[in-house]
Amino acid sequence: MSVPGWLWIFTLLGFAGWFALELAVGGRRPHEVRTREAVGWVAFSVLAAIVFGTGVWVVAGHDYGVQFFTGYLTEYSLSMDNLFVFMVILSAFAVPTIYQSRVLLIGIALALLMRGVFIAVGAALVAKFVWVFFFFGAILLWTAMKVARGEDETEEYHENALVRRLRARFPITDEFQGTKLTVRADGRRFATPLLLVVVAVGSADLLFAVDSIPAIFGITQEPFLVFTANAFALMGLRQLYFLLGKLADKLIYLSYGLAVILAFIGVKLMLHAVHEYDKGPDWLEINNWVSLAVIVAVLAITTVASLVATRRSPNGIPPTPDTVSP
């Protein structure tokens, strides 16, 4: 798939304009995001992804169209795991509700810029070294085991090195200063708690790229599709936070579904590497239609199973081994 430079520029400008629009709407009057507004933005982001993917399908062919939609769905499902971390971070910093939308928007924009670097490096490695597929596959299998065991979950926020360095570099104001990230007082530049939160959200999302970037390279090796699938998934994540935040605790089996998806793509990557070395038959490689079907089926099953389990529980929370009497 040959992507001309003008299309890259047009696409980047489109995402920049989308970001500017959301920033202008949210920055004009900081407010608590209501369900109706969240539904509207989520619908817009999903519709935009569908229109874009349809364009890829028509112009570049159905194979690339399937790659985009499979990659987008994979990235969007994996980003669900980010929501819980975002909740923990915003709660730990006691971010006022009216500022949460601005925090997520800027944090996600920073993450997208940094992911772009990851994607460029990953694309260069994949194009030059076949063994990278084995490496990416191993990362996904290891992550899948951790997710299945619940080792990636935490109920407490621990500041990372970037946030600690920021605290050491700048004095921090005691209170939020509206939507300002820094303020000047008494001849000194102060960072606000909002800046700390933005950095925390952006860096936390960047850590998820360690899983999601190898995962999407297991779907497609086209840098343009890898980037756009990530961009559409991330741009739709902010409002999804407000829409599904209260439902996140009810999706109790989602982590198992994500573990299955990560393991499946990890195996797919390794089989692809074996095929590239001419060590396996053609039928051993998993095509994109099968990948799309597996991902959709896993997400549907885990979502339905979670909702059924929570509905049957008297308090909305299904019993765990710790709460069941022997």
Using a cut of 0.85, tell me whether the model's pTM lies above it. no
**What three-state secondary structure class fits 317?**
coil
- Nearest CA-CA partner of 62 in 288, 291, 249: 288
Q: Which residues of 167-193 are buried (b: 16+ CB within 10 A; e: fewer)?
A: eeebeebeebbeeebeeeeeeeebbbb
Interstrand relation of 182-185 and 188-191 (parallel, antiparallel or unpaired): antiparallel
Segment 60-102, tens digit of pLDDT: 888 999 999 998 988 887 776 667 777 778 888 888 888 888 7
In a domain, 189, yes or no: no
Q: Are 298 and 147 in contact (CB under 8 A)?
A: no
Element (H, E) at 248: none
In a domain, 95, yes or no: yes
In a domain, 317, yes or no: no
In a domain, 174, yes or no: no
* pLDDT on residue 154: 52
Is pLDDT above 50 for 325? no
In a domain, 169, yes or no: no
325 or 189: which leads in pLDDT: 189
Instruction: Report how far residue 42's alpha carbon sits from residue 61's, in angstroms, rounded to the nearest whole number.
Output: 27
Instruction: Report how far residue 51's alpha carbon sits from residue 200's, in angstroms, rounded to the nearest whole number.
Output: 32
pLDDT band at 55 (very low <50, low <70, confident <90, very high): very high
- Residue 316 region, left (φ>0) first, then alpha (ψ -120 to 50), else beta? left
- The structural domain count of the chain equals 1
Segment 131-190, tens digit of pLDDT: 788 888 888 888 788 777 765 555 556 677 778 888 888 888 888 887 788 888 878 888
In a domain, 237, yes or no: yes
Residues 17-24, mean pLDDT to the nearest whole number? 81
228 or 149: which leads in pLDDT: 228
* pLDDT on residue 323: 44
In a domain, 96, yes or no: yes
* pLDDT on residue 314: 55
Quote the mean pLDDT of the chain.
79
Instruction: Report how far residue 325's alpha carbon sits from residue 117's, in angstroms, rounded to the nearest whole number.
Output: 51
Which domain, by its residues, includes 50?
Answer: 5-151+208-312
In a domain, 43, yes or no: yes
